[in-house]
């Protein structure tokens, strides 16, 4: 047996032992999966296997037979708050503070403009995570123009020290979508509050992957999507968190009829409903919402702390396997090694990233790409195992040997930490 064969045998055996003692492994059977190693749940979660049957009932009976009666008899009208209460334990929130509906972008807009309106008069600046997902930045710039505020883009690590008497709020991503870096939510939130400002967090890459602690850390407002680690399906509705202490003053910039205190009164004047319902706008997308509700069943009996522990173990093991299998100098991790700074993905800088990811997918290992040179691998602990991590790293090593190395100067000098990319 060659050294390479011995190395592979040792890692595959270790992966098998880890999978055999993994208490979350039983949840894999709840998903519609095949032989593919699916490491892109940080973009689109896998389909929970029971969702198609639920949706057949929603379409055939609730819509097809009950029709308009389903707003009451099937609970369609109360779905946004009901789903919010199901998501709440995954992000550390008490019931009554999360409403589901609209897209992440729309909810970011609501949170920013309403947050500015909550802030003390005279505070005219909005601090923004300069490495944020592009849409957050676009929405923040628009909200600033509409409210007469100025935008101050900063590295998230600089935000606590930059917050001051002029700061209304800061919009920060909990996990960087390119590198997988976990930001300091407790410390940043505390620093903003000490400066008299509000904290608005984007949880798209953390909810369902790690404990968030919205209530415990005093977060003011938060938004998140549901199609990544929450497995809600493509385009599933996002959610908005409004801390209970702010709800009576939450002034939405999109006061739709669904958030009216008497929505069926059809009065010309707007009067906001009580509670998180103020975050609603128009008629909810019922089909997507009920698919999400069914998908959330996979979380019954799951502790987010256990998910986090497995996530860290998976990403540790994957990085170890990459170091063992990848040719020296071909890839470099841009995901932090310390557990306290890591989300649930591993991002590798690779000059040949587009060709490498295309070939990995052809060979049955699905991750994704962030141009120009980042390979992303998302680890969703409910259905990804240690054997998956080993197989993916081994395939990566094989592909790197087959794909010619780029010449000097290939790729971009502006790596993933330099700012938003397409």
- Identified catalytic residue from 136, 202, 285, 373: 202
Among the listed residues 133, 229, 250, 383, the single catalytic one is: 133
Catalytically annotated residue among 123, 183, 310, 376: 376
Any idea of the CA torsion for 414, 348, 364, 313, to the nearest 10 degrees?
-150
Given the structure tokens 């290939």, which residue do they identify? 410
**264 classed as catalytic:** no
Instruction: Indicate if 376 belongs to the active site.
Output: yes
Element (H, E) at 241: strand 239-242
Among candidate residues 44, 39, 43, the one with its CA nearest the CA of residue 384:
39
Rounded to whole angstroms, the Cα distance separating 98 from 277 reads: 8
User: Residues of 323-344 as b/e, b for ≥16 C-beta within 10 angstroms?
Assistant: ebbbeeebbebbbeeeeeebbb
Q: Are 252 and 114 in contact (CB under 8 A)?
A: yes
Whole-number Cα distances in Å, 255 to 110, 178, 272, 273 = 10, 34, 8, 10
Residue of 30, 110, 181, 228 marked catalytic? 228
User: Is 386 a known active-site residue?
Assistant: no
Residue entry with tokens 């729309």: 106
Which residue in 130, 42, 16 sits closest to 346, CA to CA? 42
Does 26 participate in catalysis according to the annotation?
no
Strands of 88-211 (E only): list them: 98-100, 125-129, 150-154, 167-173, 198-202
228 is known as an active-site residue: yes
Which one-letter DSSP state was computed for residue 276? G
Strand 332-333 and strand 345-349: the pairing is antiparallel
Taking Cα atoms as reference points, which of 330, 313, 249, 253 lies closest to residue 23? 313
The secondary structure element, H or E, covering residue 312 is: helix 304-325
Confirm if 161 and 183 have CB atoms less than 8 A apart. no
**Per-residue tokens: 338:** 């310390």
φ/ψ of 267, rounded to 5, equals -80, 155
Of the listed 31, 109, 227, 317, which one is catalytic? 227
Cα 184 to the center of its chain, rounded Å: 16
Half-sphere exposure of residue 379, counting CA atoms within 13 Å on the CB side? 31
SS3 68: helix
How far is Cα 316 from Cα 346, in angstroms, rounded to an integer? 9
Instruction: Give catalytic residues, as residue numbers.
Output: 133, 202, 227-228, 376
């Amino acid at each position: 047996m060659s050294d390479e064969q011995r190395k592979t045998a040792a890692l595959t055996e270790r992966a098998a032992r880890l999978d055999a003692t993994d208490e979350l492994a039983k949840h894999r059977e709840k998903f519609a999966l095949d032989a593919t190693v699916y490491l892109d749940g940080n973009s689109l979660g896998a389909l929970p296997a029971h969702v198609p049957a639920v949706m057949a009932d929603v379409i055939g009976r609730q819509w097809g037979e009950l029709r308009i009666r389903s707003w009451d008899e099937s609970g369609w009208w109360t779905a946004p708050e009901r789903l919010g209460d199901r998501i709440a334990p995954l992000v550390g929130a008490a019931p009554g503070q999360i409403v589901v509906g609209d897209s992440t972008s729309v909810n970011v807009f609501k949170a920013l403009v309403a947050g500015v309106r909550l802030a003390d008069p005279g505070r005219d600046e909005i601090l923004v995570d300069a490495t944020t997902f592009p849409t957050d930045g676009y929405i923040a710039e628009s909200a600033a123009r509409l409210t007469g505020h100025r935008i101050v883009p900063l590295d998230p690590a600089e935000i606590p020290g930059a917050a001051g008497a002029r700061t209304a709020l800061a919009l920060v991503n909990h996990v960087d979508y390119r590198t997988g870096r976990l930001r300091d939510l407790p410390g940043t939130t505390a620093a903003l509050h000490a400066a008299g400002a509000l904290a608005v967090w984007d949880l798209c890459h953390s909810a369902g992957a790690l404990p968030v602690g919205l209530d415990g850390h005093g977060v003011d407002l938060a938004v998140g999507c549901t199609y990544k680690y929450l497995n809600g399906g493509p385009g599933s509705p996002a959610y908005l968190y409004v801390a209970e202490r702010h709800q009576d003053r939450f002034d939405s910039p999109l006061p739709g009829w669904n958030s009216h205190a008497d929505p069926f009164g059809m009065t010309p004047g707007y009067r906001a409903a009580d509670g998180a319902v103020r975050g609603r706008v128009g008629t909810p997308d019922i089909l997507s919402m009920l698919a999400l509700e069914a998908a959330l069943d996979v979380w019954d009996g799951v502790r987010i702390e256990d998910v986090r522990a497995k996530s860290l173990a998976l990403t540790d093991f994957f990085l170890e396997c990459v170091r063992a299998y990848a040719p020296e100098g071909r890839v470099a991790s841009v995901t932090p090694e310390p557990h306290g700074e890591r989300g649930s993905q591993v991002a590798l800088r690779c000059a040949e990233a587009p060709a490498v990811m295309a070939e990995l997918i052809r060979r049955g290992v699905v991750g994704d790409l962030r141009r120009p040179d980042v390979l992303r691998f998302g680890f969703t602990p409910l259905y990804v195992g240690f054997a998956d991590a080993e197989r993916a790293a081994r395939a990566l090593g094989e592909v790197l040997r087959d794909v010619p190395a780029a010449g000097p100067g290939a790729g971009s000098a502006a790596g993933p930490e330099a700012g938003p990319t397409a």
